[in-house]
A and B are shown apart, each in its own frame.
Chain A
Amino acid sequence: MRPTPILPTRWPSLLPLAVTLLVSATPAHAQERTHVGVQFILGDELYRSELTGAEITQLETDAGSLLAAELGRRIGYLDFRPSDSANYQVQFVVARRSAAPGGTAADALAQIGVFARLRGTSPMTREVYWLTLRRPEDALMPVGTPADILDQLRLKLRLNADYNLLSDSLLVHVPLADSATSLGDPFGWLLPFSRDEVCLDLQSRLQIVGTVPSQIGQLERVLTAEITSVSGTLPSQPTSSEVARFLLFGEAEQGQQHYEELRQAVIAGKLTLRAIYVIKYQPSPCLQPVSPGEGPLVSGGGS
């Protein structure tokens, strides 16, 4: 028998169907979220010259914790921790936006802000300019004490930071999971997480990367899927909290290249899953509440 996802369009549904999952693959439940190390690096000389070595170290530690906490409150499918030794590392580096090697007089015109860099996904470092800390017009404003800098950063993280940009540009390359239960009908993947574990809501989109055997060896195939339902044994009238306990199901989007090929491979048990990425994040209400003054869960504001 094939596993049957329930609540195919939205939850909680009143479908009185209780389904016991029968899956051919090994259940992947209880997998931990991907751990992402967060590091804050005060790279610009403007700041470094105004602080002692001990102050810089302390500020980098405090700001790393602050960033990890703020990211954790807004992006629930990854586990952000202040660390510099995780497999996946997001570095927030304070630098001049138009920084040139050696520095030029024109640097003074540059704004100083936070570059977000992702390490660990490939030999290449991905980087995006994320958040402005000082505009060119602020050239004569004192930098302040480490506490002042931390306060400014906290304020900007809540009011000006564009978490969508971070998610779409960098975190999209961090896998949500490297295993899932593949289903042929409906064609999709039962994720090893419940909604409350990763705070992914319906309409979040996933990218599935796997390999299938061929005459020339293993071929990498990529499909997109959308989280459409949860799967499990539900009571007749499930509540939202009950639904939240069940595993998420990402259904492959039809009409894609290799759709049928992969579906057949899944049915035949020949698809080897490599990784699942979140390419469009729709946060669920399980995230820690963010007060209105702190901006939206995933703000659309510019930096």
Chain B
Amino acid sequence: MILWHASSISREEKPHRDGGDEGDQPVSKSSKSSAESFLPRAAVLVVFVIVLDLWGSQHFGLGFRNPGVIAGVVAAIAYAVNLVGRLVPKSERENAGERLAGWIRRALTPEVLLVLGTAMLLLMASVSSVTVIGDTADANTRISVYPVGSPDRVRVDSLSSAPGLARFLVLSSALGRTFRVEASGYLPAAFDVYPVVGRKIRLGRDMSLAPTVLFRPSVDALRSLAGGGSLHVYRIEGGDKRLVVDTTGLEPAAYYIGRPPALPSSTVKDWERALSGQLPPSVIDQTILRWKTLVALTTGDVAPGVSLMAEVVSRAGKPVARAEVVVGESRLVDVPLMDVKS
């Protein structure tokens, strides 16, 4: 369609170019035909602008469809025209208008439109975006996006608090490209990202919530942590243990991996029941208070099926309490650390 316009415009424009400098009559006639031939080009330009606007809106979140932007631009132009009209004499104004029109006509040649259209096509075919959308609970959630197979090209951002989204401009291809998206508190997932339309990902719908693993140290372990002990968490993969958390000087508390857990009162009552009869009431109260203090462990999320081992080690480096767990499907995986009997 662009090519058709260009050729038709090219054909219509030839007389004007050939006789542009030959007296008033030809000029007037050619001006009329030039004005007529300019309209399709202007229409093409408008189409370009609209497409660009749509594309920019899709991938950048910006566009002239924004009422505020449109109103601002229109007001600015109107004001500028009005100002020029008042300051410049009529004859000069007409001359200036003619000159401006001439410049625009000469600039908006079919070749220029062709180049512009091709550039737009290439841009839209290669640049796309991944938009991650969360809700208020996901504010400041850390998002990572990288092409599958190229984790070194990771790009990281956080969900903004107000709109609750994060945009990543990515290089795609005409047939689409697969990206891996990771969001703290959610299970990582891979998405095909196509040009023009990009990809919108809604946390919780397109990406499942990751299980929260809650480690509850025993009474002995809480005391050991208060005395300078440390917490180690290992990821068990194929019989090998990989240390993923090694912290010392932690406040005695319950520690979690994943999203901050909401503790149901029934869970807390279960804890109280488990301690009842084993400890004096005052110690039970203190222990429950410790367990209700939730401290996040800075490590990646865990997916169902992952094996973890947590261990509290005393100041002297001796194991005090330990637990192993294979993460299941439930949202909250409660893991009590049991005393290590020597």
A residues contacting B by CB (< 8 A) are: 45-46, 48-52, 55, 103, 105-106, 108-109, 136-137, 139-144
A50/B283 in contact, CB under 8 A: no
A144/B227 in contact, CB under 8 A: yes
B280/A136 in contact, CB under 8 A: yes
A140/B278 in contact, CB under 8 A: no
CA distance A48 to B229 in the complex (A): 13
B287/A50 in contact, CB under 8 A: no
Q: Which of A55, A109, A143 contacts B223 (CB 8 A)?
A: A143
What is the number of residues of chain B that contact chain A, defined by CB distance less than 8 Å? Answer: 27
B219 interfacial by beta-carbon distance below 8 Å: yes
- Chain A residues whose CB sits within 8 angstroms of the CB of B278 once the complex forms: 105-106, 108-109
A109/B279 in contact, CB under 8 A: yes
Contact string, B286-304, partner A, CB cutoff 8 A, digits 1/0? 1100100000000000000
Q: Which of B226, B228, B229, B316 contacts A140 (CB 8 A)?
A: B226
CA distance A108 to B219 in the complex (A): 9
- Chain A residues whose CB sits within 8 angstroms of the CB of B184 once the complex forms: none
- Chain A residues whose CB sits within 8 angstroms of the CB of B314 once the complex forms: 49-50
B267 interfacial by beta-carbon distance below 8 Å: no
CA distance A135 to B278 in the complex (A): 14
Chain A nearest CB: distance from B208 CB in Å?
Answer: 38
- Chain B residues whose CB sits within 8 angstroms of the CB of A48 once the complex forms: 318, 342
B283/A139 in contact, CB under 8 A: yes
Query: Which 4 residue pairs are nearest across A and B when measured between Cβ atoms?
Result: A142-B227, A52-B316, A142-B226, A139-B283
Residue of A with least CB distance to B321:
A49
A143/B227 in contact, CB under 8 A: yes
B317/A46 in contact, CB under 8 A: no
B341 interfacial by beta-carbon distance below 8 Å: yes
- Chain A residues whose CB sits within 8 angstroms of the CB of B287 once the complex forms: 140
Q: Residue among B280, B317, B341 with the most chain A CB within 10 A?
A: B280
Contact string, B261-288, partner A, CB cutoff 8 A, digits 1/0? 0000000000000000011101100110
Cβ contacts A to B, 26 pairs, < 8 Å: A49-B320, A49-B342, A50-B314, A50-B316, A50-B318, A51-B316, A52-B316, A103-B341, A108-B219, A108-B278, A109-B278, A109-B279, A136-B279, A136-B280, A137-B282, A139-B219, A139-B223, A140-B223, A140-B226, A140-B252, A140-B283, A140-B286, A142-B226, A142-B228, A143-B227, A144-B227
CA distance A52 to B318 in the complex (A): 8
- Chain A residues whose CB sits within 8 angstroms of the CB of B223 once the complex forms: 46, 139-143
- Chain A residues whose CB sits within 8 angstroms of the CB of B129 once the complex forms: none
B224 interfacial by beta-carbon distance below 8 Å: yes
CA distance A143 to B219 in the complex (A): 13
Chain A nearest CB: distance from B74 CB in Å?
Answer: 69
Q: Which of A46, A52, A109, A144 contacts B220 (CB 8 A)?
A: A46
Q: Which of A46, A51, A137, A144 contacts B283 (CB 8 A)?
A: A137
CA distance A45 to B316 in the complex (A): 13
B279/A49 in contact, CB under 8 A: no
Chain A nearest CB: distance from B224 CB in Å?
Answer: 6
A55/B341 in contact, CB under 8 A: no
- Chain B residues whose CB sits within 8 angstroms of the CB of A52 once the complex forms: 316-317
CA distance A108 to B280 in the complex (A): 9
Other 18 A-B pairs with CB < 8 A, given A49-B320, A140-B222, A143-B227: A45-B341, A45-B342, A49-B319, A49-B342, A50-B224, A50-B314, A50-B315, A52-B317, A105-B278, A108-B219, A108-B279, A136-B279, A136-B283, A137-B282, A137-B283, A139-B223, A141-B223, A142-B224
Chain A nearest CB: distance from B222 CB in Å?
Answer: 6
Contact string, B302-340, partner A, CB cutoff 8 A, digits 1/0? 000000000000111111100000000000000000000
CA distance A140 to B291 in the complex (A): 13
B342/A50 in contact, CB under 8 A: no
Residue of B with least CB distance to A102:
B341
Chain B nearest CB: distance from A24 CB in Å?
Answer: 61
CA distance A142 to B312 in the complex (A): 14
A49/B283 in contact, CB under 8 A: no
CA distance A248 to B242 in the complex (A): 73
Contact string, B216-249, partner A, CB cutoff 8 A, digits 1/0? 0001101110111100000000000000000000
CA distance A108 to B277 in the complex (A): 10
